[in-house]
Structure 1
Amino acid sequence: MGWAWSVAMDTTRRPRPDDRPQRPTAAAFFDVEGTLLAAPDLAGATGPLGRLWHPPVLAALHGHAALGHLVVLVSPASAAELEPVVQHLAPDAVLCSRPRAPMIGQGKGYAARALLREHAILAARCYAYADEAADLPLLAEVGHPVVVGDDPVLLRHARRGNWRRLPAAESRPR
């Protein structure tokens, strides 16, 4: 299946080997740079992806996929820059930047809300994994936000909201 473009955001739907025709009842959003990958941006990441994965977040992604959750990658990168990650992980959807419509800050929250509405999924049943304060709008859209790393702004929210935490990704050579 090829790229499917939406008016509000760039998305893609890729079949997974375990794809079922039933409608998902939950979604899991994964910020890519610094969260799923131990790299601050995809443009500077070179070499095999295997060295860049953040193991606890990658394990969470596979766990959500096994539960039949809609797996969504979220990134300020373009669709072309994300293609190697998409090919490797085969997510259900990708929310990424397009010309004059960057996928950053509040845009991530709006895009997540639109995707949940499109799939009729309750936000309270959903998860989001992110590593920096700019991702707060994404984390605020779901019932189960997960802070990855030690961003002080996110840690304050995590303490107040009893959010789950995962360790920061190790910096790895590129």
Structure 2
Amino acid sequence: MALHADLTREIDEGPAGPAVGAFFDVDGTLIAGFSAVAFLRDRLASGRMGARDLVDALLSTARFRLGRLGFSGLIAATAAWLRDVPEQELEELSERIFARALATAIYPESRALVQAHRRRGHTLAVVSSATRYQIEPIARELGIPNVLCTRLEVQNGRLTGRHLWPTVYGGGKAMAARELARAQGIDLAQSYFYTDSHEDLPLLEIVGRPRPTNPNRRLAAVAALRGWPARRFTTRGTPGLVDVVRSSLALASIVPSFALGAVPGVLNWSRRDMVNLAITTWGEVGTALAGVHLQVHGEEHLWSHRPAVFVFNHQSAIDMLLLCKLLRRDFVGVAKQEARRNPLFGPAFALAGTVFIDRFDRQRAIAALRPAIAALKAGMSLVIAPEGTRSPTPRLGPFKKGAFHMAMGGGVPIVP
């Protein structure tokens, strides 16, 4: 069964075609948390926001939450802070913040929903009170072509400190959705809207398929009263104490795993026996502690082409555990030079024969690959992330040439 099949079943079995709209709120719906917080943190860290600006921002937000300031007043205050900022600077900042903070906040469940709607040929749109600088990178990543959002005024390439009317908030979202429906022939009675907030009731009430998603308390109550199906996503957001403890124990279990591996290593005078047992033990124990259960398709390819260069899309620290769980023995990894200095993993990686690459010195990096090619010729497999860095999203980035040079030099296949 495909991942998230239960979540997407009604879409897969429902009407197809562009007359069906799929509207998505962003904060709390497509992503965990609030995109504005990431921008606020950046302004504070960079020194572009002083203590007085921070106090003003917090007071404006508090007044808005207490109902003493309308959304137009809140966005007006936000726009004022950005007066005279070059728009290009804000666009570049939005891309950096997306890569650093927002890309990893996208719910996998949201990705599944968007992909299901795309498969059915529906017309997709983000409809958000946030500005385009916050949400356009998210929409682009998910393949959502229509962005309905609050706009800030720009003149001569600089923000004026004012916003454009109307804001896309509350009834403004319903207005924006109606305009898109008229322009693109969307039947709102057949359409979906996903949101977490009761403030979006005006749009929820005009679509035929309102879908409260991670609903706040007031929206959850309305959904229960009206019989709207609600769903909650749990794969992103602040981890609980149990999750933190389990993840920490899983990663830390590398130490006792290598200690156990030392037993056959000493008895057989074999470093490879030691490393193989340590790798297998860490993969099994670590994934069990982390609560990870794997569904492997094409498992035969892990063993039918050895030695080989195994390539993977590096997205988190747990990737190391998964590789040990899957490959189990007779392989060495290729890692960035900085990993050698990690007090927990560095010694274990070095003992396992990891090839460390200086990513900022091309000549030294090329020289470091020679032992890797020798290992391939000696019957060992290699594991490398060909993008050369951790990926913030499941989307593949450009590959570096190292994996291919090593495979050709060792005369072995590449197994993705």
Calculate the TM-score normalised by the size of structure 2.
Answer: 0.34
**1:147 equivalent in structure 2:** 212
**1:106 equivalent in structure 2:** 171
1:161 is displaced (CA, Å) by 2.5
Amino acid across the alignment from 1:171: G
Question: Any unmatched runs of 5+ in structure 2?
Answer: 1-16, 40-96, 152-162, 240-416
Q: Answer 1 or 2: higher relative contact order, Cα 8 Å, separation at least 6.
A: 1
Instruction: Give the alignment of 1:8-157 within 5 angstroms.
Output: 24-44=18-38, 46=97, 47-98=100-151, 99-101=163-165, 102-157=167-222
Task: Decide whether the 8 Å contact of 2:111 with 2:142 is kept in 1.
Answer: no
Percent identical among aligned pairs is: 34
In the alignment, the residues of structure 2 paired with residue 140 and residue 111 of structure 1 have an alpha-carbon distance, to the nearest angstrom, of 14
In the alignment, the residues of structure 2 paired with residue 48 and residue 125 of structure 1 have an alpha-carbon distance, to the nearest angstrom, of 34
Cα RMSD over matched residues? 2.0
1:140 is displaced (CA, Å) by 1.4
In the alignment, the residues of structure 1 paired with residue 214 and residue 193 of structure 2 have an alpha-carbon distance, to the nearest angstrom, of 14
Task: Decide whether the 8 Å contact of 1:146 with 1:164 is kept in 2.
Answer: yes
Q: Encode CA deviations 1:38-83: one digit per residue, 9 max, x unaligned.
A: 0223452642544201222221111111100011011122222323
Q: CA 1:149–1:25 in structure 2 vs 1: closer, same or farther (change >3 Å)?
A: same
Task: Decide whether the 8 Å contact of 2:195 with 2:215 is kept in 1.
Answer: no
In the alignment, the residues of structure 1 paired with residue 227 and residue 106 of structure 2 have an alpha-carbon distance, to the nearest angstrom, of 26
Specify the SS of the correspondent of 1:44.
helix
Task: Decide whether the 8 Å contact of 1:52 with 1:172 is kept in 2.
Answer: no
Specify the SS of the correspondent of 2:33.
coil
Question: Any unmatched runs of 5+ in structure 1?
Answer: 1-22
In the alignment, the residues of structure 1 paired with residue 127 and residue 102 of structure 2 have an alpha-carbon distance, to the nearest angstrom, of 17
Calculate the TM-score normalised by the size of structure 1.
Answer: 0.77
Correspondence 1:171 to 2:237: yes
**Of Structure 1 and Structure 2, which has the larger fraction of its residues in strand?**
1
In the alignment, the residues of structure 2 paired with residue 68 and residue 111 of structure 1 have an alpha-carbon distance, to the nearest angstrom, of 21
**Of Structure 1 and Structure 2, which has the larger fraction of its residues in helix?**
2
1:126 is displaced (CA, Å) by 0.1
Q: Which runs of 4+ in 1 moved over 6 A?
A: none
In the alignment, the residues of structure 1 paired with residue 215 and residue 128 of structure 2 have an alpha-carbon distance, to the nearest angstrom, of 19
In the alignment, the residues of structure 2 paired with residue 63 and residue 42 of structure 1 have an alpha-carbon distance, to the nearest angstrom, of 28
Amino acid across the alignment from 2:23: F
In the alignment, the residues of structure 2 paired with residue 149 and residue 79 of structure 1 have an alpha-carbon distance, to the nearest angstrom, of 23
Aligned length: 151
1:26 is displaced (CA, Å) by 0.3
1:113 is displaced (CA, Å) by 1.4
Specify the SS of the correspondent of 2:222.
helix
In the alignment, the residues of structure 2 paired with residue 167 and residue 133 of structure 1 have an alpha-carbon distance, to the nearest angstrom, of 15
